[in-house]
Amino acid sequence: NLCLRSSCCHRGFAGSAVRLGGAEEDEAFGENGQLKLVRQRRGGSLQLHFSGVPLCLLPGEKPDCIFQYGPKEPRAFEVDIMCLLWVYWTPPEEEEDEEESIEDEPLMPQGMLWVAANKDDVPEEAKPVTGVLVCRKALNPELELDGTSLGPFKVRRSDVTMAPATPAEADD
């Protein structure tokens, strides 16, 4: 089997496909991110070209990779898709009839904190956040948010194991 799944939740990537070796057509991955493959009995190499996945999410940010395999190992070829997150806050909508505060205490800034997995979901009024994003099962469990960027922040599970894939070099 060939598996193309996200590194954060191990789900398939909708709309993804792969072209095997010298094949003329792409083969689509199932909803579970798997595709059945036929292997050469003595082992060999498997050349893959992925489509339907943004390059920034693929290993080495390249659509091509090569797997070397033996007669029995590895049992499955796994390609880990990076998880990108945007972390931001949006200020509250201003009310026109805002009453003046009787007390002289400074007010804490109000707003809404958001986490998005799609850049298109980040609104224009989004502001960067200062703090720490904690993902206990991530390879880097604490992500420092310095207030200068909305993202994308790369997140990868710590328990993901990769098969020996090598990004293919482009022919110049």
Residues 130-160: pLDDT tens digits? 999 988 877 788 989 999 999 998 887 776 5
Alpha carbon dihedral 149, 150, 151, 153, in 10-degree steps, equals: 90
Q: Is the pTM of this model over 0.85?
A: no
Considering only residues 103 and 32, tell me which one the structure prediction assigns the higher pLDDT: 32
Q: What CA–CA distance (Å, rounded) separates 127 from 110?
A: 12
Task: Write out the H or E segment, with its range, that includes residue 133.
Answer: strand 130-134
Q: What is the pLDDT of residues 42-101, one digit of tens each?
A: 988 889 999 998 887 888 888 998 888 888 888 888 888 888 899 999 988 776 555 555
The helix/strand/coil state of 60 is helix
Q: Pick the residue with more confidence: 97 or 18? A: 18
Tokens of 37: 């493959």
What pLDDT sits at residue 24? 86
